[in-house]
Structure 1
Amino acid sequence: FSGQVTPKVKLVEYGVEFKRVMRSRLKLGIAEGWVKADGVLIYKASDLRVGLFKDEEPAAA
């Protein structure tokens, strides 16, 4: 961490950049992530892992 998101922050941005997606029975994504507060990078994360699932039902309108 090098900063915080406080009520004074006008703009919060975040990004996730997938480095790899494994497509076996369980789909797994491996990514890098970051958070910026008013354009200043305040947090980076490496080697994030997340299960990827397909929504079987359409969203209600």
Structure 2
Amino acid sequence: MRMADAATEFTYTTELTGAQQTDETRYVATHHLEGNLPGGTVDLRYRVTLRGDLIECLVIEP
């Protein structure tokens, strides 16, 4: 499967299950996904670092 096709290959729902600011420029949001993706469910952490009003770094991981 091509990475570009991944978003349309699966049907899923997502729910924000948590969010916190870890310091002045860093945030962590946790999302729970359920659907017809491999394994059926996954919890993902989105680690965001801001620089001013822009996202400097985004890391998405289980």
The TM-score with structure 2 as length reference comes to 0.40
> Where is the helix percentage greater, Structure 1 or Structure 2?
2
- Larger Rg computed on CA atoms: 1
